[in-house]
Chain A
């Protein structure tokens, strides 16, 4: 038996919060053979990234090892000197980060960052490394491999940068690569290209990898084995196929089942009903740049319209037009059949009250200096004019509606709440105005799946109770499937396709809808392989969706 490439034994890591050290990783064991790909999954806060970095012998500021051992090819990484570790990092162990846009240095050309490790580690000279880089770009199916490296990071799209970073990790032909959520920030159609590229190159060079993600369907495509983490502890480990078909632990099963939430379909809207919101032939532009072209869709009372599309498709711009933050350059928007003023400054208080918004990042959308009670009370007073005891009573009611106990949470600051709780406060704040129409802008995309499901259920319940209408902006088709009544598909500022959910998810599709639908990873380890075969492997890299 040959020794495994990486062995982690009984690892305990601690992180500092205020003046206290609290455990993050509580006794994890891990072995990885040469050429093997291990998937590491769990929700945020499970310690996946911390564990991935510890496998490189690296701890971020405020993290320390309290116990245990990490051995890479016989070298104890926590005993090794800083110099010894530097000689390994980049050369034999490499890292691919979640956000390539943030992890490439904006001040230097991509190729200069690519050649840095091989030149510094003495693996090859600069000229040779440039040549090798071009070769890697070609293998990763980047467009213009000869030229793309000589651009600055901001001149290259996100999906391409992520592949360029994978090439950079490969520059010294390491034995082990840590992939830390490399596709989480990408659109589904771009994600496929990156997944395919990573899988191919890891296989070509026989590199061992740890693939960290929260997306089960993604890990199923990439890993030979899967390890599930929960709050710093291992839940279970198994071969990918066995894990998918027969999860042993309750927690794993709950992860697998999370996408099961689905609302029953509502009957079709009666002919001639006046929609709550009607967007008619709207054009909009940022300065001289046109971003929306002739957008039209209706939202009816008590129903949810999901607006889907990739980043840059104009979903959020459409929302900004409806709220009046960005006055359209053409077309009109009707509220209950009455045209609204284009600019929110020209709308009266009642119109403003009837259209509310919930934001993606609850973290930044809540004033950190105001307590939960103050945040919710403000629209209650502003729109409804309630004061004193009546205001307090209404805030309590709202907090009960979003399932947060007023006695416990009224005086808390946003920083004392979890991500899901913050998003609930965002919902309560929108409800406080007693609106008819709420725009939900990617409200679940920053949340873990279990928490996101709770938010979706809450929104569905509130809709039934209060007959609210939602415009639900998302790029996640699973969410669309779960809650929408009608679907609007957008791309490049145009509506490509729209209709009731039941029709949209049933063939025949519009070609772009089809591309979107087929790009959502499925929990089948062969899904990516089959998809690449149907689409033709060779044109995956420069698929039509590759944006510059």
Chain B
């Protein structure tokens, strides 16, 4: 067990290091964007003085390195800064201080996680189940149908799938609401119903990958001597796949699942827009538009952390799925 713990700690350390490198890249990339908040907010007719004043207020006149370390220091203490847009807005209204980035992002992020969670709860079992069945009935009509269906759903644009679903499940048969405008304090049941359509859309997008990987990695193992041995013991085909092939095929499947879950957290802007779902994707796009740097950076960092954390989890689970590591000699 010690070796496993050592590997996990090692991976965790590497993950943090990656996050640090990513934070530098994010910071440089965001600062390389043409134009800044002052220019965007004041418009084309702004005087040099006014823009300079705003830059000074926001600390944008400081050298790059200083600003990076100030940001990094804040991050380490859980302070992601204050949104430029909210700051401006609050001051105009005569309020004091402003809405911090954390306050702004937290509810949106929770919504995104909720959507990702619902999607995963549907997509992962469906994908793995279909993959197992496709492996069992490989090269039959079922296998081909499953492949064609999932491939066409992954090949169509997300918004198109979204509108098709809206047409069938909200317009022609009004089962589900087509708008997903959830808010804080909404009862769980209603929240779930409203999230269902975007979740189904995303399911159609992610299922293909996971299903095909499940099928491929199981079929890959079917030529192994231990599978032949199981057949020669008179074990039924379904049991051979679930009990003898699947446990050895887990590592690649887990990795693809993690990759798709990361996509659910970071790449769902289009679906959010179609269903008016208040997730983090929309916030991100809006913030880029007005160069609201603290929010953009925080979103980027959250996306990066989600990727790293999910891949880390996948790594650790793959390691744990290997009995040689779980039970050393």
Contacts and interface: CB of A to CB of B under 8 A. Distances in A.
Interface of A: 53, 56, 58, 60-61, 85-91, 94-95, 97, 99, 102-108, 116-117, 120-121, 151-152, 154-155, 548
Contacts of B223: 61
B289 interface: no
Contacts of A116: 230, 233, 235
B234 interface: yes
B221 to A, nearest CB: 10
Interface string B230-250: 111111100100011001100
B249 to A, nearest CB: 10
B225 A117 contact: no
Contacts of A95: 229, 232-233
A101 to B, nearest CB: 9
23 contacts: A86-B236, A94-B232, A95-B233, A97-B229, A102-B224, A103-B226, A103-B229, A104-B229, A105-B226, A105-B229, A105-B230, A106-B226, A106-B248, A107-B244, A117-B233, A121-B234, A151-B327, A152-B323, A152-B324, A152-B327, A154-B324, A154-B329, A548-B329
B286 interface: no
Given A152-B323, A154-B323, A102 B233 contact: no
B234 A88 contact: yes
Contact of B235 (A99, A102, A120): A120
Interface in B271-329: 323-324, 327, 329
Given A97-B225, A105-B248, A154-B329, A90 B233 contact: yes
A106 B323 contact: yes
Contact of A102 (B226, B230, B243, B329): B226
Contact of B247 (A60, A85, A99, A107): A107
Interface residues of B, number: 22
A155 B328 CA distance: 7
Given A104-B226, A105-B226, A152-B323, A58 B234 contact: no
B61 interface: no
A117 B225 CA distance: 17
Contacts of B231: 58, 89
B324 A106 contact: yes
A241 to B, nearest CB: 32
Contacts of B236: 86, 120
Given A99-B225, A102-B224, A87 B234 contact: yes
A94 B229 CA distance: 9
Contacts of B226: 102-106
Contact of A56 (B232, B248, B324): B232
Nearest to B246: A107
A116 B232 CA distance: 12
A105 B230 CA distance: 9
B232 A107 contact: no
List the 7 closest A-B pairs by CB distance, nearest first: A90-B233, A89-B234, A107-B247, A90-B234, A102-B225, A86-B234, A95-B232
Contacts of B235: 86, 90, 116-117, 120
Given A103-B229, A152-B327, A155-B329, A117 B234 contact: yes
A152 B229 CA distance: 16
A287 to B, nearest CB: 13
Given A105-B226, A116-B230, A120-B233, 4 more contacts: A56-B232, A90-B232, A106-B323, A120-B235
Contacts of A106: 226, 248, 323-324
A373 to B, nearest CB: 34
A95 B229 CA distance: 8
Interface of B: 223-226, 228-236, 239, 243-244, 247-248, 323-324, 327, 329
Contacts of B327: 151-152, 154-155
A108 B235 CA distance: 15
B98 to A, nearest CB: 55
A107 B323 contact: yes
B247 A108 contact: yes
B274 to A, nearest CB: 43
Contacts of A94: 232-233
Given A102-B226, A106-B323, A91 B234 contact: yes
Contacts of B224: 102
A378 to B, nearest CB: 34
A497 to B, nearest CB: 29
B228 A103 contact: yes
Given A97-B225, A154-B324, A155-B327, A58 B232 contact: yes
Nearest to B236: A86
Q: From B233, B239, B244, B323, name the one whose CB has the most chain A CB atoms within 10 angstroms.
A: B233
B225 A103 contact: yes
Contacts of B234: 85-91, 117, 120-121
A115 to B, nearest CB: 11
B187 to A, nearest CB: 43
A105 B246 CA distance: 11
Nearest to B244: A105
A95 B232 CA distance: 7
B238 to A, nearest CB: 12
Contacts of A61: 223
Nearest to B250: A107
Nearest to B328: A155
B227 to A, nearest CB: 8
Nearest to A102: B225
Contacts of B229: 95, 97, 103-105
B188 to A, nearest CB: 38
B236 to A, nearest CB: 7
Nearest to A87: B234
Contacts of A58: 231-232
A85 B233 CA distance: 10
Contacts of B232: 53, 56, 58, 89-90, 94-95
A89 B233 contact: yes
A120 B236 CA distance: 9
A106 B230 CA distance: 13
A90 B235 CA distance: 8
A548 B230 CA distance: 26
Contacts of A102: 224-226
A270 to B, nearest CB: 49
B15 to A, nearest CB: 25
A90 B234 CA distance: 5
B244 to A, nearest CB: 5
Contacts of B323: 106-107, 152, 154
A207 to B, nearest CB: 16
Q: From A58, A60, A61, A107, name the one whose CB has the most chain B CB atoms within 10 angstroms.
A: A107
Contacts of A53: 232
Nearest to A104: B226
A475 to B, nearest CB: 22
Nearest to A106: B323
Nearest to A117: B233
